[in-house]
Structure 1
Amino acid sequence: MKTINYKEATTTKNPHDVDARKLHDNENVQVVHISLKAGESLKKHATAVDVFFYVLEGEGIVEIGDEKQKVTKDILIVSPKNIPHCLYNESNADFRVLVVKTPKPSEDQNKQAIQNILNSQSSK
């Protein structure tokens, strides 16, 4: 049996500049733990695969397409592929979310998503 404590996982460098820790990664699925401190957010982006978010702690705002909704602990949010999405922590406490991408995006899909985020930043 393999067990993983998110606190012991390494934070991965990402274009969002937030605490993101890859907990599981195989040919079928990718699982990332994201912790947003007060005032932090992701940069709005789209993924080439379906994603779902599961709120572990705190409250935040999830934006998918043109919809925004406040979410709290124990809520699962479905984010279809190719629809821009974002997570925001507008509270004073930590907002922790489990992000599951399925199927796992290819290396090329990941590179393209990162490039799109960087391009949208430089155009602002």
Structure 2
Amino acid sequence: MQYHHLYSDDQGESHWQEVGIDLTERVFAPPAQGILVSEPETVRNVVFLRLPAGWDEPAHPSPHPQVLICLKGRVCVTASDGDTREIAPGDIWRMEDLTGKGHHTRVTGTDDFEAAIVQFA
């Protein structure tokens, strides 16, 4: 399991990296058997969003440290260094490009883009 991590460096340039999620077997929901699960992270909000087909925004930094989980549709996201990722159903995108040039997002295809966003505390 992994996620797409978008972050900004000290010069304000945003970059992508792929990050693996560490999973450890433990009892998560007693009395169920142990399962592979990650370490918990404290969150502040959960929001849902829909971007209409054809939506194309100006570049901007992420407003909060947050994780987007794509539910439907696809977006093309370009970091300020020019590296691009397609975010599709089932993909996880961690946004930490909080300063600098940010990223550009546009909805691709004919479907609206729908996602859940988990904002960190």
TM-score by length of structure 2 reads 0.52
Is the 2:62–2:95 Cα contact (8 Å) retained in structure 1? no
Distance 1:73 1:40, change over 3 A: same
SS of the counterpart of 2:108? Answer: coil
List runs of 5+ in structure 2 lacking aligned partners.
1-42
2:120 maps to which of 102, 111, 116: 102
> What is the identity percentage for the equivalent residue pairs of Structure 1 and Structure 2?
18
Q: Which amino acid aligns with 2:113?
A: F
1:73 maps to which of 83, 86, 89: 89
Rounded to whole Å, the distance in 1 between the matches of 2:118 and 2:58 is 17
Which one has the largest radius of gyration? Answer: 2
Q: Which amino acid aligns with 1:68?
A: T
Q: Which amino acid aligns with 2:71?
A: L
1:95, distance to aligned residue in structure 2 (A):
1.0
Aligned length: 76
Distance 1:72 1:48, change over 3 A: closer
Q: How big is the alpha-carbon RMSD for the aligned residues of Structure 1 and Structure 2?
A: 2.1
SS of the counterpart of 1:29? Answer: strand
Higher helix share: 1
Of the structure 1 ranges 35-44 and 52-61, higher mean CA displacement relative to structure 2 is found in: 35-44
Match of 2:72 in 1: 57
Instruction: State the structure with bigger RCO (CA 8 A, min sep 6), 1 or 2.
Output: 2
Higher strand share: 2
Match of 1:31 in 2: 46
